[in-house]
Structure 1
């Protein structure tokens, strides 16, 4: 049975308390985990700590924590601490983010994201084992680091987010799970083949790698408003968040539309960028409309073989009321 998670929209919220309340509502409705991204709003660690103290059963996790903004040793310490304060409910999601965020906002050279992600995963797992860390990599050389506290038991799982074939293959080979996003059903099936190949290279089964699909959702009684919000969210990511999302959509057989969205958004014509996403494409990338229709669409996504969890995310322009309405409408 496919789990159903909630992906909290950290950057858009008025307060930490609002995020805590959303996690509490999700817990009461039976959601399995609350994921929190770390972008340019509140840091994920402080918010997840607050959520851990305010909830009892719902899992918590980062989706994603960038591998460029903290050292691997600090990420390992952080994961161990969050596992402690949540009493074993934490799962670590890592990823490279993109050049706009890393270079423009963090002032760090983006470099080789696949290699850096792999080395970070390796080191974090060594830290979480409680053993002394010895690592000689391309980006990191560590010697003598060891947790001063007891290592977490069990150690939290370490996932990676990925869109391209090689990055997904890396997730299958070295991580405990893969975070997928902005994929059509056919695109998802193609990437699952990459994941399986990576798992085989790592000497394990694809069943050992947990697949969490982040799905842009907006379920409102005002179905047209819901679809506009979802369409705007998709246009923003393809058009405004660098080339990775554009290339990801193009890779799935929608190259002309991907470039049309990107060019229009970069030119400042957001309405034209949104108009380039027709209803058929929107339905392949998001779940949006009246609640009953959305619940039926979710069941189709859950039926895709290989997906372990659907993470219900929300359009970036959705307000608190619309987020609450969607959480309730799509509850497990």
Structure 2
């Protein structure tokens, strides 16, 4: 990895093995990973987790990958990110996403209306608070009349990255964000997605190269490839019920397989449903096997226009204590 290249690592904070995971995170930083990413779905809390990382790391950027914008107000998120930015000396990436109606509406009782508009407005409010400490905004989804009282000493404000799968959000990321985080996409699909990002940047009068292009690169460095593929197949099956992901997966030729997942699920065949996703499809968007295969996968993403690959170790829960560090170590410097 060239000295100016970025390479991230997806991680998490598990209270049951807190000390062990922090030791791995410190090792990852020593191995040269330039950013550490915390996802948030149903726990742990991403902001609390990043605060722990801020206190236990020295130089890596600390990112949410990602938090749903609808379940906290823009002001509350801005306070959280600014606080961690202070604790870390200016190392925060505010990774934002619009999640899904199931998570936003069913789980949290919030509104999922106009997701692209909501994201644009949320970023506007957070930018105001990050740079001016004051937000006065009236939009279609959000309004804000809020002044921060916290003292800011960090050398620069948090960066803002948008999770984006499809053209409208990719273009918005190019227009208003510092970076983008893509997900579940094969290397051959990246160039058109990068084009959408660059279209948005140029439309806003920005230099396209100013937008950092990130993606979660899922992989499991293991000798038990069949077991890891089967675990990933079950993971993918859950996205058959998320419209934004279905639209993206259809571009990759997986529409019929995801239709079959939904059919089997509706018929109560829930153990059988994931098997509708073929091994070929799993291997199209993730890597299983040796370190050489994993490093080649990262190189293919870089060649397609990704500037910030984020290694996302996957695999069966039963072997995670082995597979996660093996994958992390094998991909260092990729």
Give the alignment's TM-score, normalised by structure 1.
Answer: 0.91
Distance 2:59 2:260 in 1: 44
| Aligned with 1:102 (options 89, 101, 104) | 104
Residue 13 of structure 1: how far off its partner (Å): 7.1
Tell me the equivalent position of 1:72: 74
Tell me the equivalent position of 2:236: 234
CA displacement, residues 231-275 of structure 1 (integer Å, 9 cap, x when unaligned): 332233x23x53322222013333222322333345454554443
Residue 28 of structure 1: how far off its partner (Å): 2.2
Distance 1:262 1:29 in 2: 42
Work out whether residues 315 and 323 of structure 2, in 8 Å CA contact, stay in contact via their aligned partners in 1: no
1:87 and 2:86 are equivalent in the alignment: no
Distance 1:213 1:224 in 2: 24
Note the aligned Cα RMSD (angstroms). 2.2
Distance 1:62 1:166 in 2: 21
Tell me the equivalent position of 2:262: 262
| Aligned with 1:6 (options 6, 9, 28) | 9
Unaligned runs of 5+ in 1: none
Tell me the equivalent position of 1:31: 33
Work out whether residues 216 and 230 of structure 1, in 8 Å CA contact, stay in contact via their aligned partners in 2: no
1:325 and 2:326 are equivalent in the alignment: yes
Distance 1:76 1:197 in 2: 28
Which residues in structure 2 correspond to 1:92-241 (within 5 Å)?
92-150=94-152, 152-236=154-238, 238-239=239-240
Work out whether residues 171 and 195 of structure 1, in 8 Å CA contact, stay in contact via their aligned partners in 2: yes
Number of corresponding residues: 328
Distance 2:325 2:202 in 1: 41
Tell me the equivalent position of 1:285: 285
Distance 1:234 1:156 in 2: 31
Residue 296 of structure 1: how far off its partner (Å): 2.7
Work out whether residues 9 and 314 of structure 1, in 8 Å CA contact, stay in contact via their aligned partners in 2: no
Distance 1:323 1:109 in 2: 36
Distance 1:171 1:13 in 2: 33
SS in structure 2 at match of 1:303: helix
Work out whether residues 212 and 309 of structure 1, in 8 Å CA contact, stay in contact via their aligned partners in 2: yes
Residue 150 of structure 1: how far off its partner (Å): 2.3
- Inter-CA distance 246–13: structure 2 relative to 1 (3 Å threshold): farther
SS in structure 2 at match of 1:182: coil
Distance 1:203 1:267 in 2: 51
Work out whether residues 161 and 177 of structure 2, in 8 Å CA contact, stay in contact via their aligned partners in 1: yes
Tell me the equivalent position of 2:249: 249
